[in-house]
C-alpha cells in the first residue's frame, strides 16, 4: 500500500503545472456547485425566524396585482387564533432616480400596529411616538438610512408610479433589525391622497397569530370565509409568501439542478482529456511496472488513486472558497436574502460530485492502462 501511495505522489509531481491546474479546475467546479447549493439552501431551507413563523399573509387568490376590500380586516380579525391584523400596501415609486442604490421597499401600514406585528424591529420609543403622530411620518430601516444618508427630520419625496400621487415624507423614526431594507408610512396618508374612484383597497393583510400552532387552522378559515366572495383570498405563511416571488421565475429547483449537471458534465470531459493525456505519456512506464510484477488491478488502482487525490484536493479548495465567498456575502444586507450559506449536506454533495468527476474521468483511461499488454506498452514511442 505504501509503495502505491509513493508512486501516486511521484506521478502527480512529474508535471506539477498540469496537476495544479487540474486541481484548480476541479476546485472551480466544486465552488460553482457549492454556490448553487448555497442559493438553494437560502431559498428553500433557511431557518424560519420565530417572529416570522407567527405571521401569515392574506392576498388576492388570483394575483398580487389584484386588491382586496378594506372591510376584510374586521372579518379576518374575528377568526379564532388571530392576534392582530394590519393592511399593508406596496407603494413602489421612485426615489431620486431608478438607480439600484436608490431602490428600497416602501409599504403603507397601520402605524399603531406595524412594530407590534414586526416585533423583531426595534425603534426608540420617542421616535415611534413621533412617527405615529405625524400623518406624513416615515419609519426607515437602519440599513436604508445608512446607505442613503437619511437622518431624523429629513424631508423626502417619492414619485408615484402604481399610485397617481407623489407623497412627501418626514423621517420620524429609524428602526433596526434583520432584513430592515424597507420603510413604512401611514396607510391613512395613502388612502386620503387618492381619488374616491380608487376606494380603500388593500394589497395584503398581515396577520400576527396568537401562537404559531394556529397557522394552518387560521389560514384555512380565512380562505374558507372568502371562498365564494368576488375577491377570494389565499393565506400563507410569510416564508411561503416570500417564496412565491421566486416561483414566478419558473421551476428554480430544476434550473439550479440543470446548471449543476452542466458543470459536472463539462468538467468530466475536461478531466477525462487530462487523465488520458497523462496515461498516454506513461505507457512505457506502465509496461515496466507490469514487467516488474505489478498486476493489472494495481495499475488500475494507481490511475484511479491519482484521480481521487486530485478530486479530494479540488473539493477541499472549492468548499473553502465557497465558505469564504458566503462569509463575504453575509456582510451584504439584502431583503429576504439572508442565510446565504452552504448547508452541511451541501458539503457532502460537493465532495461526492468531485469524486464523481475524478473517478468518472479516469475510469476509461485507467481501464485501458490496466489492459495494455507489456509488449505493446514497451513498444510505445508516443
Looking up cell 405563511 gives 237
The DSSP secondary-structure symbol of 204 reads E
Residue 298 has a pLDDT of 77
Q: What is the average per-residue pLDDT within 203-228?
A: 93
Residue 1 has a pLDDT of 44
* DSSP bridge pairs for 138: 171, 185
**Residue 3 pLDDT exceeds 60:** no
Tell me which of 8-12, 67-71, 216-220 is least confident: 8-12
Closest CA to 90 of 335, 338, 333, 339: 335
pLDDT tens figures, 287-327: 776 777 777 777 777 778 888 888 889 899 999 999 988 88
Q: What is the average per-residue pLDDT within 154-171?
A: 91
Q: What is the biggest distance separating any 2 CA atoms in the chain, rounded to whole angstroms?
A: 96
**Residue 110 pLDDT exceeds 80:** yes
**Residue 258 pLDDT exceeds 90:** no
Sorted by sequence, the CB contacts under 8 Å of residue 211 that are 6+ apart come out as 54, 81
Q: What is the average per-residue pLDDT within 199-203?
A: 82
**Helix residue spans in 203-343 (DSSP H):** 215-225, 238-247, 252-281, 283-291, 296-330
Q: At what angle do helices 283-291 and 252-281 cross, to 10 degrees?
A: 70
Q: What is the average per-residue pLDDT within 256-281?
A: 80
Determine the Cα–Cα distance for residues 27 and 37; give it in Å rounded to an integer.
Answer: 15
**Residue 31 pLDDT exceeds 80:** yes
**Residue 360 pLDDT exceeds 80:** yes
Residue 212 has a pLDDT of 86
Q: What is the average per-residue pLDDT within 13-31?
A: 83
Percent of the chain clearing pLDDT 90 (strictly above): 37
Cell numbers for 57, please give them: 399573509
Looking up cell 387564533 gives 81
190 phi, psi to nearest 5 deg: -65, -45
Residue 49 has a pLDDT of 67
Q: What is the average per-residue pLDDT within 139-161?
A: 92
Determine the Cα–Cα distance for residues 147 and 83; give it in Å rounded to an integer.
Answer: 34
Q: At what angle do helices 296-330 and 252-281 cross, to 10 degrees?
A: 140
Determine the Cα–Cα distance for residues 303 and 278; give it in Å rounded to an integer.
Answer: 9
Element (H, E) at 171: strand 168-175
Residue 335 has a pLDDT of 46
Burial class (CB in 10 A: 0-12, 13-18, 19+), 338: middle
Cell numbers for 363, please give them: 475510469
Q: What is the average per-residue pLDDT within 34-53?
A: 76
Higher pLDDT, 142 or 252: 142
Residue 87 has a pLDDT of 94
50 phi, psi to nearest 5 deg: -60, -40
Q: Residue 224's Cα: distance from chain center in Å?
A: 33
Looking up cell 431583503 gives 335
Higher pLDDT, 176 or 300: 176
Determine the Cα–Cα distance for residues 377 and 292; give it in Å rounded to an integer.
Answer: 13
151 phi, psi to nearest 5 deg: -140, 160
Average pLDDT along the chain: 84
Amino acid at each position: 500500500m505504501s509503495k502505491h501511495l509513493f508512486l501516486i505522489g511521484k506521478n502527480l509531481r512529474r508535471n506539477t503545472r498540469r496537476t495544479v491546474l487540474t486541481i484548480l479546475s476541479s476546485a472551480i467546479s466544486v465552488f460553482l456547485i457549492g454556490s448553487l447549493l448555497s442559493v438553494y439552501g437560502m431559498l428553500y431551507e433557511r431557518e424560519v425566524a420565530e417572529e416570522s413563523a407567527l405571521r401569515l399573509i392574506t392576498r388576492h387568490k388570483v394575483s398580487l396585482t389584484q386588491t382586496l376590500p378594506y372591510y376584510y380586516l374586521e372579518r379576518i380579525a374575528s377568526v379564532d387564533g388571530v392576534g392582530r391584523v394590519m393592511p399593508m400596501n406596496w407603494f413602489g415609486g421612485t426615489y431620486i432616480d431608478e438607480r439600484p442604490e436608490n431602490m428600497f421597499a416602501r409599504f403603507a401600514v397601520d402605524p399603531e400596529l406595524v412594530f407590534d406585528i414586526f416585533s423583531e424591529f426595534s425603534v426608540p420609543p420617542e421616535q415611534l411616538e413621533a412617527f405615529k403622530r405625524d400623518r406624513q411620518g416615515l419609519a426607515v430601516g437602519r440599513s436604508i438610512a445608512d446607505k442613503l444618508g437619511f437622518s431624523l427630520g429629513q424631508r423626502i419625496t417619492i414619485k408615484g408610479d402604481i399610485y397617481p400621487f407623489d407623497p412627501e415624507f418626514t423621517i420620524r423614526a429609524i428602526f433596526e433589525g434583520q432584513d430592515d431594507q424597507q420603510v413604512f408610512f401611514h396607510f391613512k396618508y395613502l388612502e386620503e391622497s387618492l381619488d374616491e374612484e380608487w376606494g380603500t383597497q388593500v394589497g395584503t393583510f398581515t396577520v400576527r397569530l396568537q401562537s404559531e400552532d394556529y397557522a394552518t387552522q387560521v389560514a384555512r378559515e380565512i380562505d374558507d370565509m372568502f371562498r365564494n366572495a368576488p375577491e377570494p383570498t389565499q393565506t400563507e405563511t410569510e416564508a411561503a409568501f416570500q417564496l412565491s416571488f421566486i416561483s414566478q421565475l419558473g421551476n428554480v429547483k430544476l434550473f439550479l439542478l440543470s446548471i449543476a449537471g452542466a458543470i459536472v458534465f463539462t468538467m468530466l470531459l475536461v478531466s477525462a482529456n487530462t487523465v488520458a493525456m497523462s496515461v498516454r505519456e506513461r505507457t512505457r512506464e506502465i509496461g515496466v511496472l507490469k514487467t516488474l510484477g505489478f498486476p493489472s488491478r494495481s495499475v488500475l488502482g494507481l490511475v484511479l488513486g491519482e484521480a481521487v487525490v486530485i478530486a479530494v484536493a479540488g473539493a477541499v479548495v472549492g468548499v473553502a472558497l465557497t465558505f469564504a465567498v458566503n462569509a463575504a456575502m453575509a456582510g451584504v444586507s439584502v431583503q429576504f436574502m439572508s442565510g446565504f450559506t452552504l448547508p452541511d449536506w451541501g458539503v457532502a454533495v460537493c465532495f461526492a460530485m468531485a469524486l464523481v468527476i475524478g473517478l468518472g474521468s479516469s475510469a476509461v483511461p485507467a481501464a485501458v492502462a490496466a489492459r495494455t499488454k507489456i509488449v505493446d506498452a514497451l513498444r510505445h514511442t508516443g
